[in-house]
Amino acid sequence: MPLFHKYLSGTLALALLGGCVSGGGEPAPLAEPRVHADAMADTPVRVGAPYSIGGRTYTPVDQIDYDEVGYASWYGAELEGQPTASGEPFRADWVSAAHRTLPLPAYVEVTRLDTGKTILVRINDRGPADPNRLIDLSAAAAEQLGITEAGMAQVRLRRVNPTESERMTLRTGQAAMVRLETPDSLLEILRERAARLPRPAAYASPRAQPVAAPTPAPSSASVPAATGNFIVQVAAFGSRDRAEALARRLGAQVVASGSVFRVRYGPFATEAQAQAAVARARELGQPGAVIQRGQ
C-alpha cells in the first residue's frame, strides 16, 4: 500500500543516513509508525457500473473537476454497522457521505450555503434515493456542518485531492477538516444557482422558516404518562447513552425494554398524528421510523 511504502522508504533513508554518521555512536531507535487499527483504505478506488435507485439510472464517473450545488440531508445510527456500497461498515460518528456518481472513495469539500462553513468529507456510499438531494451525510458530518436540527441544507459540493494526512484523519474516524469559509460574493452566486433547483419535499428554507431547537428528551426513567393507540418507533439500541443522544437530537423519548432502549414519539390518539411524527423523523434523517400500535 502507498502508506506502507512511504514508511518503508523513510525507514531505509534514515538507516542509510545513520550509517554515515561519524563517531561510532549508535543511531537512535526509530519510532513505530502509528496506524489506526480500524482505518479504512483508499484503494482500490471503485467507479462502478450503472445502477438504478427509485426507477432512475445513474452512471458513476471519475470526474476530477466535479463542482455542484444542491441539497444535503443526513442519516444516522439506524444504519450503524451496515455495509456501504464500498464494502466498509457505516459508522454514524465518522465523517462520511453517500453520493450517486463519484468514485468510492472520493473526497469533497461540502459548503453550507447559508453560513459559508466548509468541511472535508469522505464519500464511501451510494445515494441519496431522492433525486432532488445531492448528498447524504453521516450524522457526524451533518453535526460538524450544523445541519442536524434542520435536517437538510443547501450546499456546494466540490471534489478535492487532500493530503495523505487529511485523508488519514477521516479514514480513522477523527473530526472533519474545516476549510476556509467561502467569501460572501461567491456564496451569493452559489445560492442563486441552488434557488433554481427543484426542492426536496422535506426542505424548509432556513430564512423563511427557522427551525426551533428540539426540547431535551426525558430519560427512560421519567417518560411522562400519555394515552393513545399509536407509537412511532424511530430506532432501538443496546446502549442507553446512544439512544438518549439520538432522542435529544430529535425531541423524542427513550423507553427501556430490558437491555434494549427504544427511541420513540407518542403515544398518539390518531394515526394521522403518528404519520406526522414519522414524516418529522424522516426529515431529520431517520428513514427507519415506523408506526406501531400502542398497548
The 10s digit of each residue's pLDDT in 95-128 is 999 999 999 999 999 999 999 999 999 999 998 8
Q: What contacts 167, CB < 8 A, 6 or more positions away?
A: 42, 107, 122
Stretch among 42-51, 213-222, 274-283 having the lowest mean pLDDT: 213-222
Residue 207 has pLDDT above 80, yes or no: no
Confidence of residue 294 (pLDDT cuts 50, 70, 90): low
- How far apart are the C-alpha atoms of 40 and 55, rounded to whole Å? 31
Which is the CATH superfamily of the domain at 51-195? Answer: RlpA-like domain (2.40.40.10)
Dihedral in degrees, nearest 10, Cα atoms 164, 157, 282, 60:
-80
What residue ranges do the domains of the chain occupy? 51-195, 220-293
193 or 295, which is more confident? 193
Please choose, from the candidates 84, 83, 91, the residue with its C-alpha nearest in 3D space to the C-alpha of residue 105: 84
Residue 83 has pLDDT above 80, yes or no: yes
Residue 232 has pLDDT above 70, yes or no: yes
Confidence of residue 285 (pLDDT cuts 50, 70, 90): low
For residue 182, what is its C-alpha cell?
467561502
220-293: same fold as 51-195? Answer: no
Overall average pLDDT of the 146-175 stretch: 93
For residue 199, what is its C-alpha cell?
426542492
Topology given in CATH for the domain delimited by 220-293:
Alpha-Beta Plaits (3.30.70)
